[in-house]
Amino acid sequence: MSLSQGFAFPLDERVVLVTGGASGIGRATVMMALAGGAKVAAVDINGEALASLTKEAGAGGDRLMTAILDVTDRAQVEKATADIGKALGTIDGLVCSAGISIEAPLLAVTPELWNRVVDLNLNGTFHVAQTVARDLVASGKPGSIVTIASAQAFRGRQNSVAYVASKAGVFGLTKALALDLAQNGIRVNCIAPGAVDTPLMRSVVEKAPGGFEEALARIPLRRFGRPEDLAASACFLLSDAAAWTTGQTLHVNGGSLIV
């Protein structure tokens, strides 16, 4: 999407960090936050995708900073947030979009697979959220943190024990963070996407029994989500429109959880 195509809530003067910002929901959020007037730092482990994002940003690129970051590495996280703070100012908006899903039957899940998924989805979210929160508290500024869970955290999914557990952990982490940070004026909310049309989702759905046809049949609105659907929700939660909203989970799934 181009900046001119993106609806956004006003985010002028905000400094927004998006993890997993080079693809999928993260990339759409970066573009929409730029369209809303924010200064945005997009971090991702994929350097080539970050370079492509910079090209796509076009005229908004003067408010975009990119960096390669592995969110599971605490030292990298602390250095990256410090560098962003020096370049753009204190981060007062965070969207934790970095994540991974590895499909495997329960009895085939190795400790290495389990740790890889949980380390990125849950521990990575914690590392970035805590680091950003620490800087915000020190600055005395209010802020907004948005985590990304999954509809699967609420209904389960076959052959996805590590993914489901890690995303359920993100849901619980969000509530705990919201309680701990409310006194500092820092809001923490969660988005639980349903089936969003990203490369990660397609790799999962195409292997599932029934494939895309069956997946669509479970969605009352009869379409997969678009990354922009989730980006709009993230920008709402970052903005002053959600100034009295914290500790909540916003389900964005085309109605799939009511089926």
What is the reported pLDDT for 140? 97
Residue 41 phi/psi, 5-degree rounding, is -110, 120
Residue 69 CA from chain centroid, whole number: 14
Encoded tokens for 220: 């009352």
What is the reported pLDDT for 60? 76
Q: Could you state, in order of their start, the residue ranges of all structural domains in the chain?
A: 11-194+225-251
Contact 117, 163 (CB under 8 A): yes
CATH fold of 11-194+225-251 reads Rossmann fold (3.40.50)
What is the reported pLDDT for 202? 76
Closest CA to 185 of 255, 248, 136: 136
What is the reported pLDDT for 61? 83
Give pLDDT < 50 ranges for the chain.
1-4
User: Is 163 labeled as catalytic in the residue annotation?
Assistant: yes
Residue among 126, 163, 224, 236 flagged as catalytic? 163
Chain segment 54-67, per-residue pLDDT in tens: 999 987 789 999 99
What is the reported pLDDT for 2? 47
Chain segment 200-209, per-residue pLDDT in tens: 677 777 777 7
What is the reported pLDDT for 164? 97
What is the reported pLDDT for 239? 98
What is the number of alpha carbons within 13 Å of residue 123 lying toward its C-beta? 13
What is the reported pLDDT for 206? 78
